[in-house]
Structure 1
Amino acid sequence: MPAIDDVARLAGVSKATASRALSGRGHVADDTRRRVQRAASEIGYIASPDAASLVTGRTKNVGVVIPFVNRWFFGAVLDGIERTLLSAGYDLTLYNLPREGPERARVFEFFLARKRVDAVIVIGVDLTPHEIGGLERREKPVVSIGGSGEVSARLAVDDLGVGVLAASHLLHLGHSRIAHLAGTGAAAEPASVPGLRAAGFLETTDAAGLPRASAHGFAGDAASGDPETAGAIVVEAEMSMAGGYEAGLQLLGHPAHRPTAVFAASDEMAFGVIRAAERLGLSVPRDLSVIGVDDHENAALYELTTIAQSPAEQGRLAVEVALRLLGADEQPDAPADPLPDSGAPMSTRLVVRGSTARPSG
């Protein structure tokens, strides 16, 4: 079986240079790196990750913790993470994390803390101090996309600002009976993504003078179906198309208690609301305006007005930050650029399509 000595001999370099060229660690001239890689390919040499780990103390593996694998946003973030790790020569180990219970504890106390990963990227998970402390004691950097917790670096959009922007758009159109479909746990976990979006929504509707509607919905003339009272209401639901559909049926079912606009905490929820409106014979946007968050790949198909973010770019940036924290791309003659500011929100933008309009009448 070919060895690193054979690669070095064929490429005309030292064994140490050949090792640096193939591992990607340390400075090697580009021409030399390509020559070593050609030599390795020619004789079929494959570097042993276990041997490299013994030398460097690194596994070239990053653990990724994700709460859902079947929702578009998380899948898009994961795609950005995987592509960037592969291009950097790193492997990925995926953990689909439940909200609570013994399975979650095992992920943090055994798989991530004791198994061989160099760093951890967490997507949309609110970490406890105990979970973070266990990883930090083992010197594993933790990069979080969204979620909450005092981790090594946290990247997020301005979720409070997302709520403000969505509510402001609907108010600007003239809506005064507005509902927000928030993710489950928004009220109980105000620092979470759903909690912050709900807070931004209520902050804006409060400032506009809209009273908060009761849990029973908006008041109105039940006989004529004519709404009388302006207001804002927050209803929690699962952040999925099915969750938006079920909540939409309940929210829109009675004409006297029906909003004229809905801000959904995700595009998938918004798709469900649009489907519920169709089921009830309502037209979007004539009878109901709907705005979501994400700019899902099917948002244009639904003509959905949304607040766009770039999940794949968030995944790429999380990997960049994790590798910088590991010092994986440092070169002696090329000082690394500063770490991206984990306190600065990532960009979002309002994309107006056909699902929002002025209220009819």
Structure 2
Amino acid sequence: MVASIEDVARLAGVSIATVSRALRGLPDVASSTRDRVLAAANELNYVASPFAARLASGRTTTVGLVVPFVNRWFFAEVISTVESELRTAGFDLLLYNLGDEEGRARFFDVMPMRKRVDGVLVASLVLDDDEFKALTALNRPVGLLGLERSGFLSARIDDVAAARNAVDHLVGLGHRRIALIGGDTDDPMAFTPPLRRLEGYRAALRTGGIEPDQALERLGYFTVDGGRAAARELLTAADPPTAIFAESDEMAYGALRELHDAGLRVPEDVSVVGFDDQPLSELWRLTTVRQPVADQALDITSRLLTLLAEDELDGDAVPRDPGVVLPTEFVVRGSTGPAPA
């Protein structure tokens, strides 16, 4: 016959609640009592039910991850890293893919993760005040990946500075007609890179004495096809660019393909810079910004788990060092060179 927690409590001469606290390693149990409970559990070969433990503690050992998309490289990297770190810690992942504007509105209106998770991670979403209020109302620790907000854990890169470095490189090579292929800053999904990388691009131009020209800014929608279409439009302009800064490597790949098909040489005729340093970027010889996607996801997940553990012990855990900014690296390869004479 399988022993129950009631059997352990009876043999140890303590309450069921004390057995639960002792077996979970909580600090409010005397060492002598804990030893007695452990001895009784060992004698009865008692194995605690994870489901029962969750019910007793009010914990779900589950963390929710909210992403705007699942079919893009950045978010695939985030999901994989978060799931692996949670699994190692004995936690489950509950993934919420918002997908579109309607899905986003429904999620923050209903908040389907209520009472289903111990903590929440939000990846690369620009949240408004009402959405932050909805997250706060969950009364669960929240970690933000790719953005920051006072009172929340966060891990991100400095997208503005990284984009400035990329465009500074092109300005330093003598380019004056520098185009941008980016994301839609008016996209209702409002994820963070398009806003900040555009800001960095324009700031670098002004610092270099170049007035930004919106005729050189094209939408590539963070896809290869979008980058190719944007490059095609730029090349048909009366005064086409001599350099292109793409806000993602996928868009840069599309631009490189279009330049090749147009009979233009890279970098002799047009230089190209990407952003991310995806695995294929080295094969394309693409100059790009290397961002530590997995490191960001690992950092925010591990700190959220630490906060959950502290909260279970003292019931009043407070985030320490809530905002972390991880460094990027500018990687120069063969897709950039001096501006053509």
**Normalised TM-score (structure 2):** 0.82
- Which runs of 5 or more residues in structure 1 are unaligned? 216-232
Rounded Cα–Cα distance in structure 1 between residues aligned with 2:182 and 2:84: 31
Partner residue in 2 for 1:312: 294
Partner residue in 2 for 1:89: 90
Rounded Cα–Cα distance in structure 1 between residues aligned with 2:187 and 2:137: 32
Residue pairs, 1:167-206, within 5 angstroms: 167-185=167-185, 192-206=192-206
Rounded Cα–Cα distance in structure 2 between residues aligned with 1:2 and 1:252: 75
Residue pairs, 1:107-122, within 5 angstroms: 107-122=107-122
Rounded Cα–Cα distance in structure 2 between residues aligned with 1:181 and 1:7: 67
Residue pairs, 1:4-19, within 5 angstroms: none
Partner residue in 2 for 1:241: 224
In the alignment, does 2:151 pair up with 1:140? no
Rounded Cα–Cα distance in structure 1 between residues aligned with 2:20 and 2:304: 23
Q: Cα deviations across residues 152-183 of structure 1 (Å, max 9, x unaligned)?
A: 22221001101110111111112111011121
Partner residue in 2 for 1:345: 325
Q: Indicate conservation of the 8 Å contact 1:26/1:330, yes or no.
A: no
The Cα shift of 1:108 comes to 2.5
**Normalised TM-score (structure 1):** 0.78
Q: Indicate conservation of the 8 Å contact 1:164/1:204, yes or no.
A: yes
Q: Indicate conservation of the 8 Å contact 1:262/1:290, yes or no.
A: yes
- Which runs of 5 or more residues in structure 2 are unaligned? none
Rounded Cα–Cα distance in structure 2 between residues aligned with 1:162 and 1:99: 28
Q: Indicate conservation of the 8 Å contact 2:226/2:254, yes or no.
A: yes
Partner residue in 1 for 2:307: 325
Q: Structure 1 residues 88 and 214 mapped into 2: Cα distance closer, same or farther (>3 Å)?
A: closer
Rounded Cα–Cα distance in structure 2 between residues aligned with 1:263 and 1:83: 33
Q: Taking every aligned residue pair, what percent have the same amino acid on both sides?
A: 38
Rounded Cα–Cα distance in structure 1 between residues aligned with 2:123 and 2:109: 18
Q: Structure 1 residues 321 and 251 mapped into 2: Cα distance closer, same or farther (>3 Å)?
A: same
Rounded Cα–Cα distance in structure 2 between residues aligned with 1:276 and 1:24: 61
In the alignment, does 2:242 pair up with 1:260? yes
SS at match of 2:125: coil
Residue pairs, 1:124-163, within 5 angstroms: 124-147=124-147, 152-163=152-163
Q: Structure 1 residues 242 and 328 mapped into 2: Cα distance closer, same or farther (>3 Å)?
A: farther
Q: RMSD across aligned C-alpha pairs, in angstroms?
A: 3.6
Q: Indicate conservation of the 8 Å contact 2:68/2:100, yes or no.
A: yes
Q: Indicate conservation of the 8 Å contact 2:121/2:142, yes or no.
A: yes
Q: Indicate conservation of the 8 Å contact 1:162/1:307, yes or no.
A: yes
Q: Indicate conservation of the 8 Å contact 2:179/2:217, yes or no.
A: yes
Q: Indicate conservation of the 8 Å contact 2:20/2:53, yes or no.
A: no
Partner residue in 2 for 1:299: 281
Q: Indicate conservation of the 8 Å contact 1:177/1:260, yes or no.
A: yes
Rounded Cα–Cα distance in structure 2 between residues aligned with 1:27 and 1:87: 27
Rounded Cα–Cα distance in structure 2 between residues aligned with 1:287 and 1:149: 43
The Cα shift of 1:3 comes to 4.8
Partner residue in 2 for 1:106: 106
Equivalent residue in structure 2 for 1:282, among 247, 264, 271: 264
Q: Indicate conservation of the 8 Å contact 1:179/1:261, yes or no.
A: yes
Rounded Cα–Cα distance in structure 1 between residues aligned with 2:151 and 2:245: 30
